[in-house]
Amino acid sequence: MEEAAIYARAGWFQATARQRIAGLLDPDSFTEFLGPSERIQSPHLHLFDLPSAFDDGVIIGRGKLNGKDVLVAAQEGQFMGGTFAEVSGAKMVGLVRAARDHKNLPQTILLLLDSGGVRLQEANAGELVVAELMRAIVQARSAGVAVIALIGGKAGAFGGAGLTAATCSRVAVSEQGRIAVTGPEVIETNKGVEEFDSKNKALVWSTDGGKNRRLIGGADAFAEDSMEGFRAVAIALIAKVPAFDLKTMLAEQERLAARQEKLGACDDAVSMWRVLGIKDPEAIRDMDSKDFAALAKSIKEANHDAR
């Protein structure tokens, strides 16, 4: 227990996927499916003379969160950028489909996303699996399963991970977490440095980072960058998950249209924060997690029952 107390304060950003699962769930409650001893590895990476991982960078299983049974999938952002590939993706899709089809399994899924998107060496399989995962999440939600994305890893949630997050029932993010589809370097390469300077870290984080995502309604909770920070928001989020039906879909469309209208003319994050009614938007960047989480709760656009 002494050990657990030490790790509770450990950072989420720097941790491995296995450390995050251990820090998030109740102590010793996790059971892994298709663990590393089964060696369900990528059949492709060796063709590129690249090393494989025994779990292909995704860990799936079940455990308890504050006494409640949950399913968990965690991407290892340090292995190949946490990428979606044939095996890593199939493990996530299989987990979500299992929850959709078997009511005796936990009906809450935590997705610890940490991914740059599709693995280029397995791009066709990766693109397919992202589509399958989004479809499986929507079907699972329709069947009453709650799917919660937790985002605060080094790779962020880009490409397919950004798309996946957008299909979830609820999204939690930390300041270090980033959510987007097209990554900063890709925008710069395609549209030029004037459009988006990927080396400007302040610009990247103020645009894609957790604080902006929370304020404009892309994330429903703001977590402190620690095991107990994500644990606290996950516990709070699973207690109240919106239903998924036509009404939710229409509300989400309406919300996004209103956001486009209100913020569409802004050319950076600070100007959006000003439009949202924040008196001193420049102060947001240096605000600590607790103050920021409280501020975000007071912004109308950041709190909604859509998704």
Partner 1 sequence: MLTLKFSRVAKRRLAGKHATAIIGVVASGNLEVLLERVLPGADCQIEIATPITGYDETWKAVIDEFVERFSPGGLRISINDGGARPDTVFLRLMQGCALMEKV
Question: What 3 state SS string does 78-132 have?
Answer: CCHHHCECHHHHHHHHHHHHHHHHCCCCCCEEEEEECECCECHHHHHHHHHHHHH
Residues forming contacts to partner 1 in the complex (CB under 8 A) are 16, 18, 35-37, 46, 49-55, 76, 78-80
DSSP assignment of 19-53: HHHHHHSSTT--EEES-GGG----SSGGGGT----
Burial class from Cβ neighbours inside 10 Å (0-12, 13-18, 19+) for residue 33 reads: middle
Q: How far is the CB of 183 from partner 1 (least distance, A)?
A: 19
CB 163 within 8 A of CB 134: yes
CA–CA separation, 222 and 204 (whole Å): 18
Shortest Å, Cβ 32 to partner 1:
10
Which of residues 29 and 52 has its CB atom nearest to partner 1 in the complex?
52
CB of 253 to partner 1, least distance (A): 40
> CA–CA separation, 169 vs 163, rounded Å?
13
Q: Which is nearer to partner 1, 24 or 74 (CB)?
A: 74
Nearest CB to partner 1, comparing residues 185 and 197:
185
Shortest distance, position 46 Cβ to partner 1, whole Å: 5
Q: Which of 106, 137, 110 is nearest to 23 (CA)?
A: 110
Residue whose CB is less far from partner 1, 82 or 242: 82
Least distance to partner 1, CB of residue 76, Å? 6
Q: Which lies closer to partner 1 via its Cβ, residue 46 or residue 247?
A: 46
